[in-house]
């Protein structure tokens, strides 16, 4: 059996950053470097596995007959915000609670990053200050592989049949594309992709996006009186017509928001782009209505202006599915309790691939990995929490 940390350190050294400008699948060829390695390692363990034409690795470990197949999913790619090339992880044993120097320029001070205070005495894997670490989600990959390694080397231990799925392109929102529910074959599953080991994430936002186009009227400013309609100015007015309380910087927990992500404008025309989020689908619909209302008000105020609003839905809150089929949650609750852990049900203020899997017929809440401060140079892995997650995933699949 291989040490799980060694696995993690091997995976993070492979650059697998996805590419949001690419139309290819997977978006970046280099993501396959890790997918192929995982395929090879599954085969080495004697686990039936394949890499499909879309760069997804599927694997199947048979278990006790008559028991439901449990799915385990994680992603191979890393975030776009900062490079994942030449990751040089550093290990801090028995962390003393002090400032962690990453390199000459960057350090992690527990005053600025208070989470570190939870990890005194823990062993941490940190970056060299130049890249991200890639714990999101190579910690998830390593946890799943460590559990499979354990089961293969302890054949007397009875467990559920397990279906495995490693996806590319999660960071650019394309992870669940080409998901083959039938091939995967799990009755329900767990995405191992985020942070705290005692969290079960079973709610996420309902998501939509809005594109607003404002047509103004340009005319020489010297003769503009009662004729000019300055679309750039109307863009600001449009935004001001939306409820000011519904902004990301004013909301938390299950409160929804409209987030203005992009605006461009000149006299003749202006465009605004928003993402719209709410855990409650009815409230999301109300938020959408505010956009149409703002457009009507703007057109009334400025005769001649044309304000068009185009709204499309993106993903949905998996709670809907998990409420209808609570087996994944009940099963997880039992596994956590068997280890003496009281799970915390945390609403995700974002999306998760598990939401899409859920709506495609495989209910799939999200679990942690023990890695923190994702998508940046301050990312770190807590060895204590990572090992705890391995025990939790074992408890999910092993029979009591």
Residues that bind Zn ion (CB under 5 A): 136-137, 193
Q: Is 252 a catalytic residue?
A: no
CA-to-CA dists, residue 231 to 4, 125, 241, 300, 311, angstroms: 57, 51, 15, 14, 20
Residues 364 and 191: their CA atoms lie apart, in Å, by 6
Q: How far is the CB of 137 from Zn ion (least distance, A)?
A: 4
CA–CA gap between residue 13 and residue 200 (Å, rounded): 29
Nearer to Zn ion, 63 or 168 (CB): 168
Contact 262, 202 (CB under 8 A): no
Q: Which is nearer to Zn ion, 136 or 187 (CB)?
A: 136
Least distance between Zn ion and beta carbon 318 (Å): 16
Identify the active-site residue in 19, 31, 77, 193.
77
- Please report, for residues 204, 207, 284, 286, 316, the alpha-carbon distance to residue 281 in angstroms, rounded to integers and kept in the order given: 11, 9, 5, 9, 8
Phi-psi region of 231 (alpha: psi -120 to 50; beta: other; left: phi over 0): alpha
Q: Residue for token digits 């890639």? A: 134
Could you say which of 170, 246, 353, 379 is catalytic? 170
Measured from the CB atom, is 39 or 348 closer to Zn ion? 348
The helices-and-strands tally (H runs, E runs) of the chain is 10, 18
d(CA 208, CA 210): 7
| Secondary structure class of 308 (helix, strand, coil) | strand
Q: Rank residues 207 and 242 by Cβ distance to Zn ion and give the closer one.
A: 207
CB neighbours of 263 closer than 8 A, spacing ≥ 6?
235, 239, 270, 271, 272, 273
CB-count burial class (<10 Å; 0-12, 13-18, 19+) for 326: middle
Residue 140's CB is within 10 A of a number of other CB atoms, namely: 32
Based on CB atoms, which residue is closest to Zn ion, 305 or 318? 318
Tell me the two tokens of residue 333. 């609750």
CB 68 within 8 A of CB 359: no
Q: How far is the CB of 77 from Zn ion (least distance, A)?
A: 8
- What's the min distance (Å) between Cβ of 171 and Zn ion? 7
- Least Å from the CB of residue 74 to Zn ion: 8
Question: Is 266 a known active-site residue?
Answer: no
- Cα(204)–Cα(325) distance, integer angstroms: 16
Integer-rounded Cα radius of gyration of the chain: 24
Q: Which residues are catalytic?
A: 77, 170
């Amino acid at each position: 059996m291989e040490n799980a940390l060694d696995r993690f350190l091997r995976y993070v050294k492979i650059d697998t950053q996805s590419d949001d400008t690419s139309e290819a699948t997977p978006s970046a060829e280099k993501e396959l470097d890790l997918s192929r390695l995982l395929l090879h390692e599954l085969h080495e363990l004697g686990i039936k596995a394949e890499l499909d034409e879309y760069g997804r690795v599927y694997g199947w470990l048979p278990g006790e007959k008559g028991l439901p197949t449990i799915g385990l999913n994680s992603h191979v790619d890393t975030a776009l915000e900062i490079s994942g090339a030449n990751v040089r992880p550093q290990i801090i044993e028995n962390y003393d609670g002090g400032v962690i120097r990453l390199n000459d320029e960057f350090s992690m001070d527990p005053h600025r990053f208070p989470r570190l205070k939870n990890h005194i005495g823990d062993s941490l894997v940190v970056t060299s200050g130049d890249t991200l670490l890639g714990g999101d989600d190579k910690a998830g990959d390593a946890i799943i592989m460590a559990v499979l390694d354990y089961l293969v080397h302890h054949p007397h231990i009875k467990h559920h049949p397990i279906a495995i799925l490693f996806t590319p392109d999660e960071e650019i929102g394309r992870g669940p594309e080409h998901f083959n529910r039938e091939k995967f074959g799990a009755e329900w599953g767990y995405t191992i992709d985020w942070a705290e080991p005692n969290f079960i994430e079973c709610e996420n936002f309902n998501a939509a996006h809005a594109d607003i186009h404002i047509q103004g009227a340009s005319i020489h400013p010297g003769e503009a009186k009662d004729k000019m309609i300055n679309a750039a100015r109307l863009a600001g007015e449009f935004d001001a017509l939306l409820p000011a309380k519904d902004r990301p910087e004013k909301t938390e927990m299950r409160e929804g928001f409209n987030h203005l992500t992009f605006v461009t404008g000149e006299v003749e025309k202006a465009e605004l782009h928003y993402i719209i989020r709410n855990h409650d689908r009815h409230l999301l619909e109300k938020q959408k209505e505010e956009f149409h209302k703002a457009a009507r008000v703007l057109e009334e105020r400025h005769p001649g202006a044309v304000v068009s609003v185009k709204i499309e839905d993106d993903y949905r809150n998996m709670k809907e599915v998990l409420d209808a089929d609570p087996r994944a949650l009940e099963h997880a609750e039992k596994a956590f309790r068997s280890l003496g852990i009281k799970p915390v049900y945390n609403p995700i203020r974002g999306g998760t691939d598990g939401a899409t899997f859920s709506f495609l017929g495989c209910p799939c809440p999200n679990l942690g990995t023990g890695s923190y401060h994702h998508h940046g140079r301050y990312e770190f892995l807590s060895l204590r929490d990572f090992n705890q997650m391995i025990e939790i995933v074992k408890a999910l699949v092993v029979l009591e």
